[in-house]
Amino acid sequence: MPGKRVVIFGWAHRVHTQRWAAGMTGRGFDIRLISLGGDCLPGVDTFTFSHTGKAAYLRYMTRAAGLARAFKPDLVHAHYAAGFGLWGLWTRFKPTLVSVWGADIIDFPSNFLTRALIKRILHKADGITASSRFLKEVVKVLVPEAEVKTTVIPFGVEIPPAVHPLPTGPVKICFLKAHRKKYGPDILLRALVEVKKKIPGIRLSIAGEGELTQTLKKMTAELDLEENVHFTGYIDNSRIYDFIRQHHFMVMPSVMESESFGVAVIEAGACGRPTIASRIGGVPEVIVDGRTGFFVTPHEVGQLAEAIIRLAGDIELVAKTGRASYEFVKENYNWEKSLDLMAAVYERLIYECKKNPSV
141 and 187 housed in the same domain: no
106 and 218 housed in the same domain: no
The domain in which residue 211 lies consists of 172-332
pLDDT computed for residue 54 by the predictor:
87
41 and 82 housed in the same domain: yes
pTM score: 0.92
**What percent of the chain shows pLDDT beyond 90?**
90
Distance of CA 182 to the CA centre of its chain: 14
222 and 321 housed in the same domain: yes
Among positive and negative, which fits the CA dihedral 217, 223, 227, 229? negative
199 and 124 housed in the same domain: no
229 and 204 housed in the same domain: yes
Mean of pLDDT over the chain: 95
Contact 8, 73 (CB under 8 A): no
Confidence check: pLDDT of 158 > 80: yes
pLDDT computed for residue 214 by the predictor:
97
The total number of structural domains that make up the chain: 2
Summarised one tens digit per residue, pLDDT across range 250-290 is 999 999 876 788 899 999 999 999 999 999 999 999 999 99
pLDDT computed for residue 71 by the predictor:
97
Q: What angle do CA 220, 252, 52 make, to 5 degrees?
A: 90
87 and 12 housed in the same domain: yes
Of the pLDDT bands very low, low, confident and very high (cuts 50, 70, 90), residue 356 is: confident
Among positive and negative, which fits the CA dihedral 261, 324, 338, 18? positive
Of the pLDDT bands very low, low, confident and very high (cuts 50, 70, 90), residue 2 is: low
pLDDT computed for residue 261 by the predictor:
83
pLDDT computed for residue 51 by the predictor:
81
Determine how β-strand 5-9 pairs with β-strand 75-79. Answer: parallel
pLDDT computed for residue 76 by the predictor:
98
Does a structural domain hold residue 161?
Answer: no
Distance of CA 71 to the CA centre of its chain: 29
The CATH number of the domain holding residue 267 is 3.40.50.2000
319 and 192 housed in the same domain: yes
DSSP for 110-130 reads: -SHHHHHHHHHHHHH-SEEEE
What's the CA gap between 296 and 331, in Å, rounded?
25
Across the chain, the runs of DSSP E, i.e. the strands, are 5-9, 30-36, 45-49, 75-79, 96-100, 127-130, 150-152, 172-176, 203-207, 229-233, 249-252, 275-278, 293-296
Contact 48, 36 (CB under 8 A): yes
Summarised one tens digit per residue, pLDDT across range 221-255 is 999 999 999 999 999 888 999 999 999 999 999 99
Q: Which residue in 150, 34, 16 sits closest to 91, CA to CA?
A: 34
Does a structural domain hold residue 167?
Answer: no
Tell me the mean pLDDT in the region 302-322: 98
pLDDT computed for residue 296 by the predictor:
97
184 and 327 housed in the same domain: yes
How far lies 182's CA from each of 13, 16, 92, 216, in Å? 22, 20, 36, 14
Strands ordered across the beta sheet of 5-9:
45-49, 30-36, 5-9, 75-79, 96-100, 127-130, 150-152
Among positive and negative, which fits the CA dihedral 145, 89, 55, 23? positive
Tell me the mean pLDDT in the region 59-69: 96
Does a structural domain hold residue 151?
Answer: yes
